[in-house]
Each structure stands twice: as C-alpha cells, then as structure tokens.
C-alpha cells in the first residue's frame, strides 16, 4: 500500500490518464448494458412482469407466442393439471386512425382477475367494446375515451385506461374484453398460450401430458419474439468486446509502465524487497485505479440516465451494476497479469548493471 | 576477531553458449568489523561479479562465502533475499532512489520491508540523515536533490537496516571529486563509528586514501 499509493500520488498525470481510459471504457460498458437491458424490457416487458417461468405453447409455433394456438385438448390438460395456469390470447395487429398514422399494437386478452393481469395506472379495466392500452400509446396522441379501430377485425374500441410495463415486440399491448376476443374469432376463445405458475418439476409434469403443445421457459419465449435475439445478441457482443478491449488496453498500459519501471523493480529486489511486495504494489495500483474509475463511471451513468430523453430505453438495475463492476475488476486484474509476470522475472543484477 | 565476511576459494563461471567463462578463478579474502576495504582492478577483472556474490545477488559456482560466520554460498533465493534485506546494505553507481518517495520515505521503505517498528525507525532515519547533512531535505523528492545529496541518501538507505556489511559499487562515479570525497569520507566515518564492514569497488584512486586496505583483482584472482 505504502509504495503503491505514494507512487500514484507522485505520478498523478500518468495514472490519471490510465484512470481516464478505464473510466471511459467502464462508462461505455455500463451504458451499453443499460441499453441492452432497457431494450429487452421495452421489447417484452409484459412477459418479464408476468413473474412466471414457464409458458405452454403450440409445438409448431417455434417458441413464437403470436404464432401459437393451443389445442382444445391441451387446454383441458392445462385446466385439469394441478398447476395454476392462466391462458391468454395474443396477436399482432394495427390500429387504424383517420387523419393520423396507423399504430402497431399487440392485442391481448387475459382474465383481468388472474395473477398476470396488467396494472391499470389510469382509467379502468375494459368492459365489452373497450380497450386498455399501454401508456406509451399516449405518444401517438391517443387519450382515454378515444375510439380506435382494429385493422384485423374492423371492430371499434373505446380506450378505457392505460397500463404500465405492458409491451410485446416493442409494441404497446392492447387488452380487450374476453367477449370481444371471442367475437373476433366467431365466438371461440382462441388461446395462444398459457402462463404456468409453478415450479420446474410441475412444469415438466404438465409437459409430459400435453399432446400438441410444449412447455417452454421465459427465456425461450423471449428469444422467440422476432428480433429479440438479434437485438440482444449484437448488444451482448458489443459488451463482450468492450471487456476484451478493456483487458487489452489495460494490459498494454500497465505493461508499458512496468517496463519503464523495471530498473526500479530490480533495485528493489537488490536491496532485499521480496517479489510479493512488488506484486502487491502493482495490484493495489490496479485496484485503486479500477475502483476510482468505476465509481466515477457508475455515478456518471446514473446521472446520464436521469437526463436521458423519455423514449430512450435504458434500464440499469443494482444487480447489473454490481455484475459489471465485478467483471471490470476481474478484467483489470487479468490485464495486469503480464506485468506481474514481468515484475516477478526482473533480474536485480541487470538493474544494477553488475554480474556479467 | 572473527571476519564479518569471508570468501574462501570462491569460483564463478558463466556459460555463454558452448563456452564456459570463468570470471572468478579462486578468490579468498576476509573483511573484519570496522574495516573499509577497496577493491580495484581493470575492467573485466571480476570486481562486479565478486561484489554481486558478496551481496547475495549471485551464488558462487564453488567455494565458501561466510557472512558473520555462516556459509551462505548455497542459500536459496528466499534466504538470499532476506540476507540482502537484513544483513547487507547496497550503494550503487548512481543513487537509484525511487523517484516517488521523499528522502525520509526512502529510508522508511527499508523498515517497512523488514517489518520493523516504525517509531524507532523514524528516529534512526532522522538521525542518519542529520549525520549526513540532509536534515533540511527530509521531505523532498530525489528530483530536487543534487547528485551528492542523492548519493548520501543512498548511503543512509544502505545503513537503515543496520547491516553487517556495506557494499558500494563505484559510489562516486556520478560525482565530481569534491563531492565524491565528501561522500566517501562520510561512508568511512560511519563504518568506523559503528564497527561495520564495507567493501567499495572503485576506479577512482583518490578515494583509496579513506580505505584501510586495498585488494587488487586481476583476471578473476586476487593479485
């Protein structure tokens, strides 16, 4: 600690530069992580807020909720099963408006007393002929009391209220009354999928009994949403690369600094310093620089998230910050391994110019 | 009186590709407490190798190396590190101070490495620096010091852990005559006063007047 801190204080400019780079990279990591998480939530907040781990889907739907149609037989299996399940209908459609652009929505029908019912933040639950839509629809100029027309069924709905965290495939979800859902399909309630409120074992049990359907996990359902994997994949790749770049940049910086100080390390060894003291000193410096730049990056990221425009999907949970910080620390330490090796190998004799 | 340092038939060979290079053929001498010995000899005579062996930086190929009566010729790397830390004080051609430590911290570093109590050490550091005329430089960084002052700090650092043996490798090489003499005078004074042993490799004949004895190395042997 003694050597590490004294040196950091003495060589302020040099280490401030290193900390600056580390700050920028960790800021970028946090920002992209927040964006990835925000986009994921924005894409499918309805699934994430349902708080269930399993869904029953048509086997042929390839994990796509909007493509799925659960057979009557399997609906019976779900109903008779010991696990509590909530069937729901879901499809993508478009609202037609006169004198304004059309709006994509995901139309959904679910028992509004079930555990996966949406939270109404304004207005009230819909009765027949009404619709409850995600609050983001207000950006399109749609207010409570407005009448909207569904393009697929040509039915008209009066907006009864707004919900929060109800999106699917980046579109706001429009909840309609069960009777309206039936009317759209000639009186039959079409079940796209069912949310299972049970453990992994219970879900597996149901899965065995299903004829034409299967049980998939929340992650599989999310990955099944068109574009979800591509979106998350490219952002994840950016994050992974940022960590790799961070490791390389830090490795290069510390290596150059270490090479510059080889003579000093040699002298230290000659006057009797154990290698452990030198290694510890280097590690403490890496840790201190990481801690300072990470703290700064976290503060700046959280600050930036406060002044970001409303529409920008950005979400950074405490867990995410903790994981990113931990990974970044690890990256910094990995980056300093090369330097540590160099320090361990320093020849005291070469440093003092004697011996050969 | 027992010798502080005793080299007995020390031989050192290096392998350079296929060739074997014998740098030290058969070197034997004793250094007693309170003695300040100069080692002279042409370049390539093995002075630096001899000093590195005496300083536990290198192990001899054969022969005995007694420090305070204990043979350290075959000591392990860890043992040699501890010997260097506690029993030997090094003074190099240039001062080799750490640029980011103040004069006092250069000395306190030695204490920290040997895990001694801080309070005694602070007093000793201040006393040493005062004796070497550096009292007013205690809290300054090496870059603010003159060459002579830096070398005196290096001497103080070498004394800090109260070693049995001081090894100086051309300590005046980077100083002008007057400063060089002043530095060596102080080194000689400390050796006498504290009954330590010191070896100085030098090319500078004017410095020999401060030494008790001169050992001449030629072609890897004492002549």
Structural domains in chain B (count) = 1
Task: Kindly report, residue by residue over A10-30, the tens digit of the pLDDT.
Answer: 999 999 999 999 999 999 999
B113/A274 touch (CB, cutoff 8 Å), yes or no: yes
pLDDT attached to residue A353:
62
Distance (Å) from the C-alpha of residue B130 to the closest C-alpha of chain A?
A: 22
pLDDT tens digits for range A211-259: 899 999 999 999 999 889 998 999 999 999 999 998 898 899 999 999 9
For residue A117, give the DSSP letter: P
Residue with tokens 């309070």: B119
For chain A, give the mean pLDDT.
90
Domain extent, residue B84, equals: 5-222
Nearest-Cα distance to chain A for B57, in Å, is 7
* CATH number assigned to the domain comprising residue B186: 3.40.50.300
Q: How far apart are CA B150 and CA B208, in angstroms?
A: 22
Q: What count of residues does chain B have?
A: 223
Q: Tell me the three state secondary structure of residue B25.
A: strand
Quickly state the pLDDT bin for A171 (edges 50, 70, 90).
very high
Instruction: State the alpha helices, DSSP H only, in A130-261.
Output: 178-184, 200-209, 218-224, 228-260
- Name the residue facing A352 among B88, B92, B99 (closest C-beta): B92
The token pair at A332 is 């910094």
Are A349 and B84 an interchain contact pair (Cβ–Cβ within 8 Å)?
Answer: no
Q: Is A3–B92 a contact, with Cβ atoms under 8 angstroms apart?
A: no
Q: How far apart (Å, rounded) are the C-alpha atoms in residues B199 and B5?
A: 10
- Is B104 near chain A, with CB under 8 Å? no
> What is residue A1's predicted lDDT score, i.e. its pLDDT?
76
What residues form DSSP beta bridges with B31? B5
Complex-level ipTM beyond the 0.85 threshold: yes
Each residue of B130-173: pLDDT tens digit?
888 889 999 999 999 998 899 889 989 998 988 989 999 888 88
Structure tokens at A32: 């992209």
Q: Contact B86/A272, CB-based, under 8 Å?
A: yes
Check if B169 contacts A (Cβ < 8 Å).
yes
How many CB pairs below 8 Å do chains A and B form together?
82
Q: In Å, how far is B23's CA from the nearest CA of chain A?
A: 8
Q: Where are the domains of chain A?
A: 2-44+229-352, 47-224
Query: Taking 90 as the threshold, does the pLDDT of residue A173 lie above it?
Result: yes
Q: Which of B60, B106, B88 is nearest to B198 (CA)?
A: B88
B81 in contact with A, Cβ within 8 Å: yes
Residue in B57, B86, B105 closest to A348 by CB = B57
Residue B1: pLDDT over 80: no
How confident is the model over B87-105, as a mean pLDDT?
A: 90
Average of per-residue pLDDT across A155-164 = 93
């Amino acid at each position: 600690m003694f050597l590490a801190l004294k040196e950091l204080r003495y060589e302020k400019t040099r280490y401030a530069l290193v900390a600056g780079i580390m700050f920028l990279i960790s800021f970028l990591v946090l920002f992209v992580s927040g964006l990835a998480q925000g986009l994921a939530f924005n894409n499918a907040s309805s699934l994430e807020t349902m708080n269930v781990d399993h869904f029953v889907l048509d086997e042929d739907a390839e994990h796509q909720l909007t493509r799925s149609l659960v057979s009557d037989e399997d609906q019976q299996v779900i109903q008779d099963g010991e696990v509590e399940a909530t069937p729901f209908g879901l499809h993508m459609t478009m609202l037609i408006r006169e004198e304004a652009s059309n709006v994509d929505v995901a139309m959904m029908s679910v028992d509004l007393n079930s555990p996966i019912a949406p939270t109404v933040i304004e207005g009230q639950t819909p009765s027949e002929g009404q619709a409850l839509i995600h609050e983001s629809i207000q950006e399109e100029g749609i207010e409570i009391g407005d009448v909207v027309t569904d393009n697929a069924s040509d039915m008209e709905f009066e907006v009864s209220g707004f919900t929060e965290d109800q999106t699917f495939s980046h579109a706001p979800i429009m909840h309609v009354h069960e009777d309206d859902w039936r009317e759209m399909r000639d009186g039959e309630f079409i079940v796209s999928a069912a949310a299972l409120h049970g453990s992994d074992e219970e879900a597996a049990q149901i899965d065995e009994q299903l004829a034409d359907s299967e049980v998939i996990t929340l992650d599989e359902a999310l990955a099944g949403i068109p574009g979800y994997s591509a979106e998350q994949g490219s952002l994840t790749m950016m994050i992974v690369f940022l960590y790799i770049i961070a490791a390389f940049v830090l490795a290069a910086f510390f290596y150059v600094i270490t090479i510059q100080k080889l003579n000093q390390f040699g002298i230290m060894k000659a006057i009797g310093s154990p290698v452990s003291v030198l290694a510890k000193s280097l590690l403490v410096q890496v840790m201190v620089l990481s801690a300072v730049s990470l703290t700064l990056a976290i503060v700046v990221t959280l600050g930036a998230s406060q002044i970001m425009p409303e529409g920008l999907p950005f979400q950074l949970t405490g867990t995410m910050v903790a994981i990113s910080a931990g990974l970044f620390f690890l990256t910094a330490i990995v980056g300093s391994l090369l330097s540590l090796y160099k320090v361990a190998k320093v020849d005291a004799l070469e440093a003092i110019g004697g011996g050969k | 009186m027992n010798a502080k340092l005793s080299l007995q038939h020390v031989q050192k060979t290096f392998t350079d590709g296929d060739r074997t290079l014998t740098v030290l053929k058969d070197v034997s001498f004793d250094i007693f407490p309170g003695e300040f010995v100069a080692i002279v000899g042409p370049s390539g005579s093995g002075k630096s190798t001899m000093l590195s062996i005496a300083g536990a930086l290198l192990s001899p190929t054969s022969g005995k190396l007694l420090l305070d009566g204990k043979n350290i010729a075959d000591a392990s790397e860890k043992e040699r590190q501890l010997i260097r830390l506690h029993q030997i004080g090094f003074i190099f051609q240039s001062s080799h101070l750490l640029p980011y430590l103040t004069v006092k911290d250069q000395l306190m570093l030695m204490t920290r490495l040997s895990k001694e109590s801080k309070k005694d050490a602070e007093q000793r550091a201040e006393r040493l620096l005062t004796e070497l005329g550096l009292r007013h430089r205690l809290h300054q960084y090496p870059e603010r010091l003159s060459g002579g002052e830096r070398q005196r700090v290096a001497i103080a650092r070498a004394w800090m852990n109260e070693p049995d043996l001081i090894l100086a490798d051309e300590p005046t090489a980077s100083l002008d005559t007057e400063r060089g003499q002043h530095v060596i005078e102080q080194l000689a004074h400390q050796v006498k006063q504290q009954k330590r042993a010191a070896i100085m490799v030098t090319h500078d004949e004017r410095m020999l007047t401060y030494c008790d004895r001169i050992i001449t190395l030629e072609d890897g042997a004492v002549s």
